[in-house]
Structure 1
Amino acid sequence: MLNVTGLVKTVPGGRTLFERLDLSLARGEFVAVTGESGAGKSTLLNLVAGLDSPDAGSVCIDGTDIAGLDDDGRTRLRRDRIGFVFQAFHVLPHLDLAHNVALPLALQGHDAHASLVAAEAMLASVGLGGRGDAYPRELSGGELQRVAVARALVHRPGLILADEPTGNLDPDTAARTLALFVDQVRHAGAAVLLVTHSTVAASAADRTLVLSPTGLVERG
């Protein structure tokens, strides 16, 4: 599903975040990446998503080399093949929950009514059935992250990129949200690349890798 080969990335000032980074994810595999603050975990996600460009190396998703795509091609790849879950939720406050979740389908040009039906079904699957006409301001942090999970999965992407998805939640809510996230992505059969500081979140993965300037090292 995902193949990263020989990735090199430096930041202004010449500091190398990582070099010769290799990573492979099979469909249905769940991998967590940990590392010190500033190690480049979020940058790695941005490179995988085609939102940033490496200094060297390649990122291939389903056999497509991102470097060979123009801006429109990268946008289409993200729209069709990737789901995102962020620490800050990024739920749109002016849209009700159903329209928030349906957004990836709307961007793909699906029928509006069918998109809302699919969104309501996804909301039900994350424990928010019947709440499609509610607005984000009416929800708790844990509920907002459930909406974000539903939105990430509604268009059935092959790859989920998650950046500290429980970082803004209290421990109890984080544990419940993480369990729901794991259950939903396993059910969907998506590959997951999760970056996190949390050892609890990382423990949900099939394997955990530690990011350092020399690449990724499997944690024993």
Structure 2
Amino acid sequence: MRDRFVTMHAIETLGLAKTVGRDRRLFHDLSMAVAPGELVAITGDSGVGKSTLLNILAGLDDADAGEVRIEGIALAGLAEAPRTRLRRERIGFVFQAFHILPYLTLEQNVALPLALISPDAAAARDQARAMLGEVGLPDRGRDYARDLSGGELQRVAIARALVHRPAVILADEPTGNLDPDTATRILDLFARAVRSRDAAAVIVTHSVATAAVADRVLRLTAHGLVEQPLVAVDG
């Protein structure tokens, strides 16, 4: 039989289904493909399963049916150790709550993904410093989270997600804790940084402004994903 995943995409799913509790179906028959350099926003009502879907894409949760592939590699076919290694090397995360470790400097926070995949501490520090400069925080590497605003913390989170040049970026309400003006600047930074690295990004969000930076907007329903028209947001 011809492989249904012929074209190499950064992220591919086919026929995903997920039920929680005894019989509450979140979604079924969910299929999508995200190409390198593409940003896809996933919207939907609260409780429909957006964050659950993100966890399934990351290999942190398992679907009840269907398949997820990252750069052609099927997550379901991996034992825990290689799945963890793939997640560390090929996926970056941006969270609503930042998750910057308060007892580490900003440089150490950004270098964490590199520390997990390489023993070269000096190279990790250099790359972390360069990445902090790219997100507009040069010479801040020795600061701690307590010294930063929410927008600055999210810049650090973006730097940490991108520093190891992952193929896939997964973002869960990345501007949910920011004021509108700061959110706009962070979204522009995020989109430019992702595209410049030819990464594939999936953003789950309630925000129309956040979805507006995407190349495609998909609405998650119990029956899968429905493509939505792109909406321009006035600055």
Alignment TM class, shorter chain as reference: over 0.9
Where do 1:92-131 residues align within 5 Å?
92-131=101-140
Partner of residue 67, structure 1: 76
- Measured after TM superposition, the shift of residue 110 of structure 1 is 3.7
Partner of residue 32, structure 2: 23
- Measured after TM superposition, the shift of residue 70 of structure 1 is 1.1
- Say what the alpha-carbon RMSD is for the aligned residues: 0.7
Does residue 157 (structure 1) correspond to residue 145 (structure 2)? The answer is: no
Deviations 1:14-56 (A, max 9, x none): 1100000001011111100000000100000000001001110
Decide which of 52, 57, 67 is 1:58's aligned counterpart: 67
Identity %: 61
Does residue 216 (structure 1) correspond to residue 225 (structure 2)? The answer is: yes
Rounded to whole Å, the distance in 2 between the matches of 1:60 and 1:48 is: 8
Alignment partner of 2:61: what SS? coil
Alignment partner of 2:92: what SS? strand
Rounded to whole Å, the distance in 1 between the matches of 2:182 and 2:44 is: 23
Where do 1:25-44 residues align within 5 Å?
25-44=34-53
- TM-score normalized by the length of structure 1: 0.99
- Measured after TM superposition, the shift of residue 123 of structure 1 is 0.1
Does residue 171 (structure 1) correspond to residue 165 (structure 2)? The answer is: no
Deviations 1:46-99 (A, max 9, x none): 000010011100001111100011111111011000000000001111000001
Partner of residue 232, structure 2: none
Uncovered stretches (5+) of structure 1, i.e. residues with no partner: none
Alignment partner of 2:83: what SS? helix
- Measured after TM superposition, the shift of residue 13 of structure 1 is 2.9
AA paired with 1:103? L
Rounded to whole Å, the distance in 2 between the matches of 1:131 and 1:61 is: 34
Partner of residue 209, structure 2: 200
Alignment partner of 1:8: what SS? strand
- TM-score normalized by the length of structure 2: 0.92
AA paired with 2:182? T
Q: Which stretches of structure 1, 4 residues or more, deviate above 2 A after TM superposition?
A: none
Rounded to whole Å, the distance in 1 between the matches of 2:195 and 2:63 is: 30
Alignment partner of 2:158: what SS? helix
Rounded to whole Å, the distance in 1 between the matches of 2:102 and 2:81 is: 27
Partner of residue 147, structure 1: 156
